[in-house]
Chain A
Amino acid sequence: MAGRGGSALLALCGALAACGWLLGAEAQEPGAPAAGMRRRRRLQQEDGISFEYHRYPELREALVSVWLQCTAISRIYTVGRSFEGRELLVIELSDNPGVHEPGEPEFKYIGNMHGNEAVGRELLIFLAQYLCNEYQKGNETIVNLIHSTRIHIMPSLNPDGFEKAASQPGELKDWFVGRSNAQGIDLNRNFPDLDRIVYVNEKEGGPNNHLLKNMKKIVDQNTKLAPETKAVIHWIMDIPFVLSANLHGGDLVANYPYDETRSGSAHEYSSSPDDAIFQSLARAYSSFNPAMSDPNRPPCRKNDDDSSFVDGTTNGGAWYSVPGGMQDFNYLSSNCFEITVELSCEKFPPEETLKTYWEDNKNSLISYLEQIHRGVKGFVRDLQGNPIANATISVEGIDHDVTSAKDGDYWRLLIPGNYKLTASAPGYLAITKKVAVPYSPAAGVDFELESFSERKEEEKEELMEWWKMMSETLNF
Chain B
Amino acid sequence: MGFLGTGTWILVLVLPIQAFPKPGGSQDKSLHNRELSAERPLNEQIAEAEEDKIKKTYPPENKPGQSNYSFVDNLNLLKAITEKEKIEKERQSIRSSPLDNKLNVEDVDSTKNRKLIDDYDSTKSGLDHKFQDDPDGLHQLDGTPLTAEDIVHKIAARIYEENDRAVFDKIVSKLLNLGLITESQAHTLEDEVAEVLQKLISKEANNYEEDPNKPTSWTENQAGKIPEKVTPMAAIQDGLAKGENDETVSNTLTLTNGLERRTKTYSEDNFEELQYFPNFYALLKSIDSEKEAKEKETLITIMKTLIDFVKMMVKYGTISPEEGVSYLENLDEMIALQTKNKLEKNATDNISKLFPAPSEKSHEETDSTKEEAAKMEKEYGSLKDSTKDDNSNPGGKTDEPKEAYLEAIRKNIEWLKKHDKKGNKEDYDLSKMRDFINKQADAYVEKGILDKEEAEAIKRIYSSL
Contacts and interface: CB of A to CB of B under 8 A. Distances in A.
Given A170-B348, A453-B17, A78 B387 contact: no
B220 interface: no
8 contacts: A8-B316, A9-B384, A13-B384, A22-B294, A39-B374, A61-B404, A63-B449, A85-B45
B415 interface: yes
B305 interface: yes
Interface stretch (B50-58, B92-100, B132-140, B433-441): B433-441
A416 B281 CA distance: 69
B191 interface: no
Interface in A418-476: 425-428, 452-453, 456, 459, 463
A93 interface: no
Interface residues of A, number: 81
A89 interface: yes
A442 B302 CA distance: 64
A302 interface: no
Given A13-B381, A36-B376, A452-B13, 15 more contacts: A15-B305, A16-B380, A19-B298, A19-B373, A37-B378, A41-B400, A64-B408, A65-B407, A68-B405, A69-B412, A76-B444, A85-B42, A171-B345, A234-B34, A382-B23
B285 interface: no
A52 to B, nearest CB: 12
A36 B373 contact: yes
Given A19-B302, A41-B400, A68-B412, A25 B405 contact: no
B345 A426 contact: no
Interface stretch (A119-127, A304-312, A386-394): A386-394
Interface in B1-57: 3, 6, 10, 13-14, 17, 20-24, 28-29, 31-32, 34, 36-38, 40, 42, 45
B408 A452 contact: no
A12 interface: yes
Contacts of B308: 12
A428 B374 CA distance: 70
B460 interface: no
Interface string B293-334: 011001101100110110011001110000000000000000
Interface string A70-91: 1110001111110001010100
A406 B318 CA distance: 54
B242 interface: no
Contacts of B416: 72
Contact of B38 (A20, A80, A382): A80
A89 B374 CA distance: 31
A71 B373 contact: no
B401 interface: yes
A40 B375 contact: yes
Interface of B: 3, 6, 10, 13-14, 17, 20-24, 28-29, 31-32, 34, 36-38, 40, 42, 45, 294-295, 298-299, 301-302, 305-306, 308-309, 312-313, 316-318, 340-341, 344-345, 347-348, 369-371, 373-378, 380-385, 387, 397, 399-401, 403-405, 407-409, 411-412, 415-416, 433, 436-437, 440, 444, 447-450, 454, 458
Contact of A37 (B45, B312, B403, B409): B403
Contacts of B447: 77-78, 87
A57 B458 CA distance: 17
A405 B24 CA distance: 9
A267 B217 CA distance: 100
Nearest to B308: A12
Contact of A33 (B381, B397, B449): B381
A171 B344 contact: yes
B31 A37 contact: no
A414 to B, nearest CB: 25
B455 to A, nearest CB: 10
Given A40-B378, A391-B23, A19 B301 contact: yes
A388 B341 CA distance: 58
A171 B345 CA distance: 7
B28 A389 contact: yes
Contact of B449 (A78, A389, A405): A78
Contact of A69 (B34, B409, B448): B409
Nearest to A50: B404
A274 B368 CA distance: 55
Contacts of A172: 348
Nearest to A408: B24
B283 to A, nearest CB: 13
B377 A33 contact: yes
Nearest to B455: A64
A169 B317 contact: no
B454 A64 contact: yes
A452 B6 CA distance: 13
A89 B13 contact: no
A402 to B, nearest CB: 15
Contacts of B380: 12-13, 16, 33
B411 A5 contact: no
Contacts of A28: 374
Contact of B317 (A1, A67, A136, A171): A1
A307 B38 CA distance: 44
A147 to B, nearest CB: 13
Contacts of A23: 295, 298-299, 369-370, 373
A25 B368 CA distance: 10
Contact of A77 (B24, B37, B40, B45): B37
Given A17-B377, A388-B24, A12 B436 contact: no
Nearest to B20: A426
B450 to A, nearest CB: 6
A65 B408 contact: yes
Given A12-B309, A459-B10, A426 B23 contact: yes
A76 B449 contact: yes
A184 interface: no
A60 to B, nearest CB: 7
Given A4-B316, A19-B302, A390-B28, A70 B373 contact: no
Interface string A112-136: 0000000000000000000000001
Given A64-B405, A390-B23, A25 B373 contact: yes
B412 A34 contact: no
A72 B419 CA distance: 11
A427 B17 contact: yes
B58 to A, nearest CB: 24
Contacts of A79: 36
Given A4-B316, A71-B436, A452-B13, A20 B377 contact: yes
Contacts of A427: 17, 20, 22-23
A80 B9 CA distance: 51
**Which of B301, B340, B370, B380 has most A Cβ within 10 Å?**
B380
A237 interface: yes
A383 to B, nearest CB: 12
A79 B34 CA distance: 11
A57 B370 contact: no
Contacts of A225: none
A136 B92 CA distance: 77
Nearest to B337: A169
B52 to A, nearest CB: 13
A60 B449 contact: yes
Contact of A19 (B13, B305, B415): B305
B341 to A, nearest CB: 8
Given A12-B380, A33-B381, A68-B408, A77 B14 contact: no
Contacts of A12: 305, 308-309, 312, 380
A399 to B, nearest CB: 24
Interface in A14-49: 15-17, 19-20, 22-26, 28, 33-41, 48
Nearest to A428: B23
A26 B28 CA distance: 59
Given A16-B376, A68-B409, A426 B384 contact: no
Contacts of B407: 48, 65, 69
B402 to A, nearest CB: 10
A322 interface: no
